[in-house]
Each structure stands twice: as C-alpha cells, then as structure tokens.
Structure 1
Amino acid sequence: MQINILKHINISIVITLVMTMLFSCSNNNLKNIQDIDVSENEPIGVAENINLKYTDSGKVKAILKSPKMYDFSNRRFPYNEFTDGVSLELFEDGKKSVVVSDYAIIYSKTDIIDLQGNVKVTTHSNDTLYAEQLYYDQMKDWLFTNKPVTFRTGQDLINGNGFDSNQKFTNAEVVETTGLITVDE
C-alpha cells in the first residue's frame, strides 16, 4: 500500500512539473524555444544547380540558372542570395534578352534585385550594358546604377558614371557620360 502511495505521489509531482513547464511558456518564449535550432545568421535553405522556368499562359517567360542560392527568408529583412552568380534569360514575343552577373541578391520586401560583378545585360536587339553593379526595381520595371557603365547601342559605345532605363531599354540613358565612340563594323 505504501508503494502505491509513493508511486502516486511521484506521478503527481511529474505531472505538476510538466504542466508548470508547459504553461510557463508564453507565445514569445515558445517561439524562442522553437527558433533555437535556426540561427538568424544561417540560411533557412540552400538550393544548388537551380534551373527555374517561369511560364505564363503556357509560354516560357524566364529561365533563371544559378549554381547556388541561399534563402534568408527567416530574417527580419528577408532576401535570397546567389553567391556564385546568376544567368537569367527573358523571353517576350519570341525575342530573348540575357542578364548575367557574378553575384545577386533579391530583397523580398522591396522587390529590388542587386546584381554585382561583371554584370552584362544583352537585349534581343543586341544593345548591351556592362556594369560592376546594377539594380532592378521589379515593381517599377526600372534598371539603375550610379557606378561606371559601358553601354553599346547600335554602333555607339558610351561610357558613363551611371545608368537609368526601363527594362526594355526604350529610354536608356547613360548618366554623366565620360566618352562616346562610334564603332564601324
């Protein structure tokens, strides 16, 4: 009989401790406990050898390729980082434009893409922009930089200290032009 009473007391103590632990965690504390495993400095995911095709109405609109992507959507200011570069092919009305860079970062909250290192944008009409850094505002469909650029359009090769344009390059402008060369082919 004493053994049953001791067992009953031990079980009561264990149940009391477990209940105390469960009810002592508020939502914030519970979230903190759940997040212990995921450091904010580490990506929540890593993707390798990406070959992402975006389609609309059965037509391929874009193909994104990259050796590696880090997903930092677990941060307060979420982003995706492409440390080994990107290649993006854009298709419109059967015409292809290509964007490549050594590094890219996409900020989810602002819809800004930051391309860095040997950035090259080639349009379907063979206009080509070379830059060390180029931003793309996805919401406004706008490309811009305040870094040195070289822009080849037709037979003109234009150097400058900045660039502004819509994504189709129909109103491309080299800012602070430092040189203009006409190339005979």
Structure 2
Amino acid sequence: MINRFLYKNILTAALASGCFFMSACENDVNEVRALGQKKTGVDEGRNIDSYLSMNGRMKAHLTAPLLLRYQGDSASKAEFPNTLHVDFYNDSAKIESKLRADYGRYMENEHKVFLRGNVIAFNVKGDTLYCPELTWDQNTGKFFTDKRVVLSKGHRSSVFIGLHGMDCTQDFSTINLYTMEPGSFFNIPDSTKGADTTAKPAQ
C-alpha cells in the first residue's frame, strides 16, 4: 500500500520524508530548528493537525499537541506523548469512529499505532470501548489489545468486559472479546412493554 499525506506546513525535511502523520504546525522555521537541536536525532512539532490517506482514500485525521519524530533508527517511529485524538473514516469519507489516548506511538515499519493511557474509542452508534492499551493496525483497519477492556453497546444498554482483551473492526461491526467477565450483562427486550427492561448476565 502507498501512503499519501496531506501537509499544511512541513516541520523539517526529515520529518516530511518519512512521517506517518503529516503535520500542520504553528512553529516558525527557527523554532523548529531550535527544537530539533535539543535532542540528537529527534524532530519535534507542535499543534499537529494531520491526515492519512491510503490508495487515494482518506483513512484518518489526527490532532495532537506534540509530535516527536525519531531519526536514524532501523525501526522508525513517531510519538505523541501529550495526548492525541483520531477520527477514522469509512470508504465514503464519513467518520465511523473516534478515539483518544494519553500517549500514542506509530511504528512505521509495522504500520501500526500503539495507544496507551485512558484509551477511549467509540463509533457513531454510541458503542464505546475503554481500555488501558490499544493497537490499531493500519493494513487491516482493526483494533486489538490483550488488556482488560470494557465495551458498552448502544449507549450502555449492554456492557461487556473482556478479561484478556479483544479485537474488533474500527467501526465496531465485528467484536471478539477474550474471556468474558461474569459481571458483563446485556438487556433483553420485554415484548409486553416494547422496551429493553431486563438485565441478564452475558454467557
């Protein structure tokens, strides 16, 4: 797959040549150069506003207050140490899900984004995932983790807890939870009242 990135401004030539998330920054040239001199082999950018497209289609929009781009590494990576927010788009260029995390890292050679710290992901239907760590696979468009996860479906009408993680498509249309916690529950419609009124434990 060929990645195409949309720039508003270029942080540095090194950042432009390899960074997964391209940046729109408020730094002037001298500020960026000064930041780059603070850490050998590290480019820094602030107020990141970035787009990712694959095969001519927009896939994601990322915003973050800080980007650290590491150079001269056999496994190139970009870090977002001070929180990040990502919108994910479907094939019709409409937002299908969003997420936020305290920290993010893009592994360029693996085409994966690792997220950590108060990770929250949700889709347009209100299904919401809470977990301490999560990985997004750029090639498959899937999320996965081996950490405990809490998934609320339909604005908390159903709550499922996976003790050993899960994997799911980025629109949450297919979800696999590993080792369901007994405290998980879902609501069963009461046909006499026409509403979801009875909570039952998930099997």
TM-score (norm 2): 0.64
Q: Write the distance in 2 (CA, Å) between the matches of 1:153 and 1:133.
A: 20
C-alpha deviation, 1:56, in angstroms: 8.0
Q: Does 1:142 align with 2:142?
A: yes
C-alpha deviation, 1:58, in angstroms: 9.6
Q: Write the distance in 2 (CA, Å) between the matches of 1:147 and 1:160.
A: 8
C-alpha deviation, 1:140, in angstroms: 2.0
For 1:90-101, list aligned pairs within 5 A.
Answer: 90-92=88-90, 93=92, 94-101=94-101
**1:156 corresponding residue in structure 2:** 158
Distance 1:97 1:164, change over 3 A: same
Identity %: 24
**2:28 corresponding residue in structure 1:** none
Paired residues, number: 147
Q: Write the distance in 2 (CA, Å) between the matches of 1:57 and 1:164.
A: 25
Q: Report Cα offsets for 1:46-76 as digits up to 9, x if no partner.
A: 0101012346899865321001010013212
Q: Does 1:103 align with 2:103?
A: yes
Distance 1:156 1:113, change over 3 A: same
**1:70 corresponding residue in structure 2:** 68
Q: Write the distance in 1 (CA, Å) between the matches of 2:99 and 2:133.
A: 12
Q: Does 1:176 align with 2:179?
A: yes
TM-score (norm 1): 0.69
* Matched residue type, 1:134: L
Q: Is the 8 A contact 1:44 1:74 kept in 2?
A: no
Q: Write the distance in 1 (CA, Å) between the matches of 2:126 and 2:147.
A: 22
* Matched residue type, 2:112: I
Unaligned ranges ≥5, structure 2: 1-35, 188-195, 198-203
Q: Write the distance in 1 (CA, Å) between the matches of 2:108 and 2:141.
A: 15
Q: Write the distance in 1 (CA, Å) between the matches of 2:76 and 2:51.
A: 22
Q: Is the 8 A contact 1:73 1:80 kept in 2?
A: no
C-alpha deviation, 1:113, in angstroms: 1.0
* Matched residue type, 1:159: I
Distance 1:61 1:106, change over 3 A: closer
- CA-based RMSD: 2.6
* Matched residue type, 1:180: S
Structure with greater helix share of residues: 1
